Amino acid sequence: MKKIHLLLVKAFIKPFIVTFFIVMFILLMLFLFKYVDDLIGKGFEWYVILELMFYASAANVSMALPLAILLSSIMTFGSLGENYELVAIKSAGVSLQRAMRPLLVVIVLLAIGSFLFSDYMLPKANLKYGSLLWDVRNKKLSFLIKEGVFNNSIPGYSIRVDKKGEDGISLEGIMIYDHNGTGGIAKIIMAKDGKMYKTSDDKYLVLKLNNGVRYEETAGKNTSFNPRQELYRMRFGETEQKFDFSSFKMSRTDENSFRSNTAMLNLKGLTRKKDSLTKLQDSTDRYARLTLGSYYKQNNYTKGYTKIKIPARNIKGPILNEIPKGLRSTVLQNALDQATTIQQTTSAKIPEHEEQMRNLIRVDVEYQRKFTLAVSCLLLFFIGAPLGAIIRKGGLGLPVVMAIIFFLIYHIISTVSEKSANQGNISPVLGIWMAIIVLSPLGAFLTYKATVDSALFDATYYKTTFVNFFNRFLKKKRTES
């Protein structure tokens, strides 16, 4: 029995590791395609991009791990069924459920590890990933001069060159607009050729210009209303233009400014944030209730100073008939002003209340997400293992197709329900658990079918069944005739 369990574990571990890293690689490629415009042409060091990819891979574990478990379980039991090893195991008196026990232990350990990862490691990885991605996307473009295009990367300057040398240093046909002068009038520098280089401390970019002219306009001396009075033209054989390069270096943002984000908190942090948001919402609603309630109460300045009780009066017909004609316009204007004030106060409080409700929903969704990763690993195993035993096909053909189909169903249901929960259409708990609730009966059904050796995906079985049914139908018709 131990040999059978060891055989199943070995047959599962290898495809699981391979498929997990393949899925992680695909997700990383999708990440690079998504943010390629933010990474290219900014002069990042290689280790910055590797660090960003490492944190992104940690964030992709929640998608890669369930898919790897589903695919590897289908491949494992499909290969065992294709090689008639499952038949040999069952003929030895070992049921499918008993054969799945060692793998179930492995999946439970993976589920526990995924829960600990999502509660302890994933918030830290999201914090590092979010802060670094913020710095990358907000970093200014490095000084990348393209031929025939004005470059405005350096504040206060527009630079254009006609041609760049193959060495990346030599330049021809240089034109520089300097917008740092007074009066909004740009200074123009034109040079036949030149070179660019950085200083040894990487603080300044230097353009060494040759054979050029500098144009500068200044205010006239005789008039004050026309600033375009004097034009200076200075020719030079060689000069240098220095630009501050410090603004192009990426500075790391303090991670504490991102720490309050919902995706970067563990269970304890989410609980504290929910308590804080609940107290804030209660105080906001209480203030709005007291503010609006004052407009619906009668002002009774004599309350507490008199014991006279006046019975309630029944008013029949329009209430305006009870008001003297001379005061009706004043009363109507006061009522209109009060109604306008109530409307303005309510309009100002509704967006604040809705935003607080959205924040509470995000916290509830993220709190439940910590558990769904572990449960989804178990669910997809109970879908993949019996499915592989039924289709009895190993390798990367049919198992990959079946795994992608079922994972897409799981992912689509999960995404749509989570979006509905974030919009407040359904409960956050129901929204985040919807995919597991819907697919759990499917897992139980497939497990039952695999236990009774059902030919659920056998085309020959359905073909034979159809032919037999058709023959019986024809025989019955002939008998009746």
**Two structure tokens written together for 292:** 């609006």
Taking the chain (481 residues) in runs of 10, the rounded mean pLDDT of each run is: 75 84 85 70 67 80 85 81 70 70 85 86 78 64 64 77 78 84 74 82 78 78 58 84 64 57 79 85 79 64 58 74 79 83 79 82 86 87 82 71 83 87 85 88 82 61 66 72 60
Between the CA of residue 266 and those of 55, 122, 250, 260, 433, what are the distances in Å? Answer: 17, 8, 29, 11, 19
- Domain range summary for the chain, segments of one domain joined by +: 2-139+365-467, 157-248
Closest CA to 63 of 20, 16, 115, 109: 20
pLDDT at 396: 67
pLDDT tens digit string along 382-424? 888 888 777 777 666 777 777 788 888 888 888 888 888 888 8
pLDDT tens digit string along 170-192? 888 888 888 776 566 778 888 88
In the numeric block, the tokens 């023959």 are attached to 471
Closest CA to 390 of 461, 457, 443: 457
Q: 449 CB contacts (<8 Å, ≥6 apart)? A: 386, 390, 456
